[in-house]
């Protein structure tokens, strides 16, 4: 689809093939980003997600990938398993109104350990406050690159009461918090390093390699970006899983039967079980597909005029890989609005439809640098919850069963708007296992 918004050409790709043809096969032309003026004004600079194609982009990609690459992420698995089990225990012990906070804390807890070597143990943790602030910014500001400020940068010089300049007020209110997200983690790890108390982390390993006179801005930017990009997306995907289990208890039970037959009731699931749990894998893939948390992806930018299938894509076009559109492509996914995990199983058990992790993490040279971390975090938490908890519909004070609607919020990261439910231990045995594991 081609559209022009206030003179700005935009292309929406809602076929996976088109995204592969353009963003991957012709990646030399489509790996740029538009300027995200709103986020830059907020202080997100340098931030890999928003960097334009060029030397600084290449440097930041390398910084991220060297710490989050496919093999490197194995080191994080024991920590991810511990956080997943902690969440399962917290679910069992907490009131339903805390579930969303607990899921957010799971996602923040993992990324904070990777980035800063810090384990969150209290609800007052400074990283949780920073994560709340990021949530405010990312979820309440509409699709990326589309705020009035992005179209009319001149608005940044107007007062926030001026029509169309509402985002100026947002910038003023949140700029100093963004600065803290850049400064706090590096400042803290540096102090811990000097005191000989720093745990292994991305920041510590970077500081150890830094040479005299090196600029700290790259380190601060990479750490803040990992934190922001890794937290919301993981949390939102986990909330989509919860919603799917509330609305589709039949899949919950089927997956639990699979886990019981492979893992038994003498231990908790481990990463080594992954290949033996095909239905759990399908549930994760279907969670990615059913409600993608970045529905419009992050826009790429065409650096030169291009012709695709006889159509002109003008230089400077914003190219949105519409992940939501691809999830609804009926030529690939049958009955696409239905939550149907077995679609991914080979025929005849399923429909042999392609896994969605090829799509949900984006494309080409801009593909998500956190995909392996995210995939592991989500797999272990989904499996641990299914193994130990029963997720059911909540009941209101009048005894009516609450059926949440499947509605996602707007924003750079989109989130289910209602996940009210009740979570209880699956059995006395599963409760004992989880308590033994966490203490």
> By the criterion CB under 6 A, which residues form the site for ligand HEM?
48-49, 61, 64, 68, 111, 225-226, 229-230, 233-234, 237, 293-294, 297-298, 300, 321, 360-363, 366-370, 373-374
Q: Which residues contact 425 (CB under 8 A, 6 or more apart)?
A: 92, 388, 389, 390, 431, 434
DSSP state of 408: B
**Do 232 and 238 form a contact (C-beta atoms < 8 A)?**
no
User: Closest approach of Cβ 228 to ligand HEM, in Å?
Assistant: 8
Q: Please, which residue, 52 or 406, has the CB nearer to ligand HEM?
A: 52
Rounded to a whole number of angstroms, the minimum distance from the CB of residue 168 to ligand HEM is: 26
Cite the annotated binding site by residue number. Answer: 368
Question: Residue 348: is the preceding peptide bond cis (ω within 30°)?
Answer: yes
What distance in Å separates the CA atoms of residue 1 and residue 349, rounded to the nearest whole number? 35
Query: Closest residue to ligand HEM, Cβ-based?
Result: 370
Report CA Rg, the chain. 22
Nearer to ligand HEM by C-beta: 170 or 368?
368
Instruction: Return the DSSP state at 315.
Output: T
**Helix, strand, coil in percent for the chain, rounding step 5:** 55, 10, 35
Bridging pattern class, strands 8-13 and 318-321 = parallel
Nearer to ligand HEM, 41 or 115 (CB): 115
Q: Can you tell me the distance from the alpha carbon of 151 to that of 321, in angstroms, rounded to the nearest whole number?
A: 20
Report which DSSP code applies to 136: H
Nearest one of 225, 202, 230, 235 to 101, comparing CA atoms: 235
* CB 392 within 8 Å of CB 424: yes
Concatenate the DSSP letters of all residues of 239-287 into one string: HHHHHHHHH-HHHHHHHHHHHHHHH-SSS---GGGGGG-HHHHHHHHHH
Shortest distance in whole angstroms from residue 188 CB to ligand HEM: 19
Element (H, E) at 391: strand 389-392
* Nearer to ligand HEM (CB atom), residue 141 or residue 233: 233
Residue 129 CB contacts under 8 Å (≥ 6 apart), including other chains: none
**435 neighbors 91 (Cβ within 8 angstroms):** no
Cis omega before residue 46 (within 30°)?
Answer: yes
- Which DSSP helix (H) or strand (E) runs through 298? none
Q: How far is the CB of 379 from ligand HEM (least distance, A)?
A: 11
Q: Which is nearer to ligand HEM, 300 or 420 (CB)?
A: 300
Which residues does the annotation place in the binding site for heme?
Answer: 368
Q: Tell me whether residue 27 or residue 156 sits nearer to ligand HEM (CB atom).
A: 27
Least distance CB 50 / ligand HEM (angstroms): 7
Contact assessment for residue 390 and residue 426, using Cβ atoms and an 8 Å cutoff: yes
Pick the closer one to ligand HEM by CB: 80 or 256. 80
Report in angstroms how near the CB of residue 346 gets to ligand HEM at its nearest: 25
Cα torsion at 205, 211, 214, 219 (round to 10°)? 0
User: Least separation, in Å, of the C-beta of 46 and ligand HEM?
Assistant: 11
Indicate the residue among 92 and 281 with the shorter CB distance to ligand HEM. Answer: 281
Nearest approach in angstroms of CB 161 to ligand HEM is: 34
In a 10 Å sphere around its CB, with 0-12 CB exposed, 13-18 middle and 19+ buried, how is residue 266 labelled? exposed
The residue (of 327 and 430) whose beta carbon lies closer to ligand HEM is 327
């Amino acid at each position: 689809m081609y559209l022009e918004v206030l003179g700005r050409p935009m292309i929406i790709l809602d076929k996976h093939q088109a995204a592969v043809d353009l963003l991957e096969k012709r990646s030399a032309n489509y790996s740029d980003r538009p300027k995200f003026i709103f986020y830059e004004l907020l202080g997100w600079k340098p931030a890999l997600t928003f960097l334009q194609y060029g030397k600084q982009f290449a440097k930041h990609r390398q910084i991220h990938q060297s710490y989050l690459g496919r093999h490197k992420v194995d080191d994080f698995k024991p920590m991810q398993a511990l956080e997943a089990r902690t969440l399962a225990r917290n679910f069992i012990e907490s009131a339903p109104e805390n579930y969303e906070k607990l899921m957010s804390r799971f996602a923040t807890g993992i990324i904070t350990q990777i980035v800063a070597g810090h384990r969150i143990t209290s609800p007052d943790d400074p990283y949780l406050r920073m994560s709340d602030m990021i949530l405010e910014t990312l979820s309440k500001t509409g699709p990326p690159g589309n705020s009035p400020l992005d179209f009319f940068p001149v608005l940044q010089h107007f007062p926030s009461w001026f029509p169309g300049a509402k985002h100026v007020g947002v910038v003023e209110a949140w700029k100093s918090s963004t600065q803290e997200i850049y400064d706090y983690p590096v400042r803290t790890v540096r102090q811990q390093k000097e005191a000989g108390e720093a745990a292994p982390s991305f920041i510590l390993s970077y500081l150890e390699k830094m040479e005299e006179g090196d600029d700290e801005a790259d380190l601060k930017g990479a750490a803040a970006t990992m934190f922001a990009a890794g937290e919301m997306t993981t949390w939102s995907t986990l909330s989509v899983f919860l919603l799917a289990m509330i609305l589709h208890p039949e899949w919950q039970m089927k997956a639990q039967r699979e886990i019981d037959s492979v893992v038994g009731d003498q231990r908790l699931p481990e990463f080594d079980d992954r290949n033996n749990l095909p239905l759990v894998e399908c549930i994760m893939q279907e969670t990615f597909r059913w409600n993608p948390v970045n529905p419009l992806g992050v826009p790429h930018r065409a650096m030169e005029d291009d012709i695709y299938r006889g159509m002109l894509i003008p230089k400077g076009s914003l190219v949105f890989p519409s992940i939501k559109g691809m999830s609804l492509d009926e030529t690939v996914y049958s009955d696409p609005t239905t939550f149907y995990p077995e679609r991914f199983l080979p025929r005849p058990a399923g429909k042999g439809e392609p896994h969605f992790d090829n799509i949900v993490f984006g494309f080409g040279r801009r593909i998500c640098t956190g995909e392996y971390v995210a995939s592991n975090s989500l797999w272990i938490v989904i499996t641990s919850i299914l193994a130990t908890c029963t997720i059911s519909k909540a009941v209101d004070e009048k005894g009516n069963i609450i059926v949440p609607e499947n509605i996602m919020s707007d924003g750079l990261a989109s989130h289910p708007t209602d996940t009210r439910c009740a979570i209880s231990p699956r059995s006395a045995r599963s409760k004992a296992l989880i308590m033994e594991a966490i203490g």
